[in-house]
Amino acid sequence: MRHRLPVQKIYFNHRTGKAEKCTFCYPRTEVGLPTVCSETCVGRLRYLGVLLYDADRVAAAAATEEETGLYEAQLGVLLDPEDPGVRREAEAAGIPHDWVRAARRSPVHALVSRYKVALPLHPEYRTMPMVWYIPPLSPVVEALTETGFDGEDAGNLFGAIDTLRIPLEYLAEQFAAGDTGPVRASLEKLAAMRSHMRAVNLGEPPDPAVAASVGMDLAGLEAMYRLLAVAKYEDRYVIPTAAVGDARRLEESAVPDSCSLDQAGGPGMGGEGAFGQDSGRTELPLVSLETFHALRARQTADEQPHVADVADSRGEK
């Protein structure tokens, strides 16, 4: 969410002499696994989830006359998956139940629509944004600390937003078509969250006025903190799986033409492929979905599995 994903990013493959680009790790995402760049992000800065939107509203949102109104117009296209009416309409439209369930648990929906801290990139392009970004607050905290001020105090943070190392106006040009309002609101919520959690960690009585000043309550600040700071794997990546009947056609036989960024012939020039330890190696059998999900189970387990269990999951003897 907070770093640019490499979708449409062009890579030059020195082995084939051709330019290739990211495909959002299709078909990893088709079987419920996150993109490789999300899963391996050291800072755990990327989130994947479903957004439900009303296709009939897209054209009207794109036709918004004032560019500074495009952010709110795009928010208006998104639907609330907790709304019973939305769920009924989704069922009537034939949207699978697992997609609606995923939308209700979506971290992206929470950051975009519930907390409104994630913003679209260049809404003035009038496209429906599929990747959203949280503007950076961290530099101001360090800058305040270096000058001798309390870098976690809400009052200091709110006041310093106008003197960010990355000017507020520049961020507004990136994320809100020049409107500083949504960017300031996002940064103030992040500042309020940091201030509140500092008080909690120090055992100080929390100040409800800090949350109220950004239109939230203390429970909301703590829920946002859990999502941004300590969310587990299954909370950061909520991806509905493809229909069981289509699963076989999504095995790795489709990968060489669609996702070659980290396997033989791709920019990674070898190593593990997009499907884990056995993929990306032409001398080995194709990797099945069962192996795929066994790898995910190992990555999210609290304890390392026994070596025999690993061999079984990979079809080894």
Instruction: Write the secondary structure of 135-191 as one string of H (helix), E (strand) and C (coil).
Output: CCCHHHHHHHHHCCCCCCCHHHHHHHHHHCCCCHHHHHHHHCCCCHHHHHHHHHHHH
Q: Determine the pLDDT at residue 111.
A: 97
CATH number of domain containing 193: 1.10.3650.10
What does the pLDDT read at residue 86? 96
> What are the backbone angles phi and psi of residue 18, rounded to the nearest 5°?
-120, 155
Residue ranges of the chain with per-residue pLDDT less than 70? 1-9, 27, 138-144, 147-155, 159, 242-296, 298-300, 304-317
| Tokens 């095995």 belong to residue | 251
CA 33 to CA 39: how far, in whole Å?
9
Out of 195, 230, 265, a domain closes at 230
Residues whose CB is less than 8 angstroms from the CB of residue 153 and which lie 6 or more positions away in sequence, other chains included? 195
254 and 222 belong to one structural domain: no
At 41, list the tokens: 């992000």
Counted domains in the chain: 2
Is 219 within a domain?
A: yes
Torsion of CA 270, 276, 279, 281, to 10 degrees: 30
| 142 and 187 part of one domain | yes
> Do 167 and 136 form a contact (C-beta atoms < 8 A)?
no
Report yes or no on 152 lying in a domain.
Answer: yes
Mark whether 218 and 143 lie in a shared domain: yes
Examine the fold and report which residue of 203, 230, 257 is the final residue of a domain before the chain moves on: 230
Residue 83 half-sphere exposure toward CB, CA atoms < 13 A: 9
Q: Which backbone phi and psi does 309 adopt, to 5 degrees?
A: -70, -35
Task: Specify the pLDDT at position 299.
Answer: 65
Q: Look at the block and give the residue holding tokens 């492929």.
A: 273
pLDDT of residue 265: 52
221: domain range? 135-230
Last residue of a domain, one of 176, 201, 230: 230
Please tell me the distance from the alpha carbon of residue 175 to that of residue 183, in angstroms, as a whole number: 7
The answer to whether residue 71 sits within a structural domain is: no
Q: Domain for residue 129, yes or no?
A: no
Q: Which residue has the tokens 């051709």?
A: 18
Contacts of 243 (CB under 8 A, 6+ apart): 96
Both 251 and 218 in one domain: the answer is: no
Q: What is the pLDDT of residue 250?
A: 53
Instruction: Flag whether 75 is in a domain.
Output: no
Task: Tell whether 155 and 218 lie within a shared domain.
Answer: yes
- According to the model, what pLDDT value does residue 284 have? 40
Tokens of 136: 């950076």
Q: 87 lies in a domain? A: no
CA distances from 286 to 45, 61, 74, 242, 274 (A): 31, 45, 42, 19, 12
Smallest CA-to-CA distance from 47 within 128, 113, 133, 117 is with 133
98 lies in some domain: no
Q: Is residue 35 part of a domain?
A: yes
